[in-house]
Amino acid sequence: MKATAPARDDAPDHVKPAAPLPPADPETGRITRARDGRVFLIGIDRPTKLNGFTPEMCRELAHAYTEFENDSEARCALLFSHGPHLTAGLDLPRMQKVIRESRAFSPEGCVDPFDFLDPRRTKPVVTAMEGFTFTIGLELMLAGDIGVAAADCRFSQLEVKRGIMATGGATLRMVQRAGWGNAMLFLLTGCEFDAETALRCGLVQEVTPPGQAYARARAIAEEIADAAPLAVEATRANARKALHEGWDQAIADLRPQQHTLLQSSDAAEGVRSFQEKRPARFTGS
């Protein structure tokens, strides 16, 4: 069954259904979520407040990631923004109590969007970034798998300018992606940097003309969704194991994983479609 994402007048054209939702409550904001074909769309929706995150939005985001993980028809997720900015970061007055009490942003039992805690997602996430991509937005992108930024996108991990530190993964993943010196420049100064700098440092994977990040990210998500889902998940899992547990553990898994994949219907379909010179029709079995 095909579902279209709930959308608003300021949503990208690709996610505008016949009957758009009313505007989000500007005080709480919301996270829209729906599956369109095999791509699961997750929208940050508080544009009147630059998509600043509230406690309600943090909880809804975790529920959205959980719904994506549990949806057997969803093969890839696309995180995007309603309005011109991904997010200006946390709404600190609204989030102050959560931060002060060191409470988790995600409800217990939900998939962690920051990929710190179990249960973890097993399927890929592509992030489309327009405008401000500050603090939590940058960390969500780094916790994902592929980032596409518009040329006019602005990044900042500015927690040190607010007397706090980044706790959503920037201190870990910026160093992995961009190297120590670049990470320290961004983390210790809280400076703004542009999309070309993010691309040069390996923080994002592609830069598009302004206004085209969503379309390109959607195309990438569709391409991933067209691939064999068991192979996609196994490939991502092995790369992740190499990163977190070391090469030896990942290498030890290669042949057993490949053996399992070779027994699948999708592997047979891959060969058959090649022989018949047609697109493969993978079922995840």
Whether 116 and 52 share a structural domain: yes
How many other C-beta atoms are found inside a 10 Å radius of the C-beta of residue 86?
32
Whether 252 and 174 share a structural domain: no
Q: What is the pLDDT of residue 94?
A: 86
Q: What is the pLDDT of residue 195?
A: 99
With both helix axes pointing from N to C terminus, report the angle between 265-276 and 229-245 in degrees, rounded to the nearest 10.
Answer: 120
**Residue 256: inside a domain:** yes
Per-residue pLDDT of the chain (285 residues; tens, 9 = 90+): 334 444 555 556 555 444 577 899 999 999 999 999 999 999 999 999 999 999 999 999 999 999 999 999 999 999 999 999 999 999 988 888 777 776 777 898 999 999 999 999 999 999 999 999 999 999 999 999 999 999 999 999 999 999 999 999 999 999 999 999 999 999 999 999 999 999 999 999 999 999 999 999 999 999 999 999 999 999 999 999 999 999 999 999 999 999 999 999 999 999 999 999 999 999 999
CA atoms within 13 A on the CB side of 19: 1
Q: How far is CA 204 from the centre of its chain?
A: 12
Whether 135 and 271 share a structural domain: no
Structural domain boundaries, residue 259: 229-276
With both helix axes pointing from N to C terminus, report the angle between 170-178 and 136-143 in degrees, rounded to the nearest 10.
Answer: 60
Whether 177 and 236 share a structural domain: no
Q: What is the pLDDT of residue 122?
A: 98
Whether 202 and 138 share a structural domain: yes
Rounded to whole angstroms, the Cα distance separating 91 from 50 reads 10
**Residue 203: inside a domain:** yes
**Residue 4: inside a domain:** no
Q: What is the pLDDT of residue 164?
A: 92
What's the number of domains the chain is made of?
Answer: 2
Q: What is the pLDDT of residue 194?
A: 99
Whether 262 and 172 share a structural domain: no
Q: What is the pLDDT of residue 88?
A: 98
Whether 249 and 145 share a structural domain: no
Instruction: Give me the CATH number covering residue 270.
Output: 1.10.12.10
Beta-ladder partners of 129: 149
Whether 263 and 122 share a structural domain: no
Instruction: Give me the CATH number covering residue 89.
Output: 3.90.226.10
Q: What is the pLDDT of residue 95?
A: 86
Whether 269 and 169 share a structural domain: no
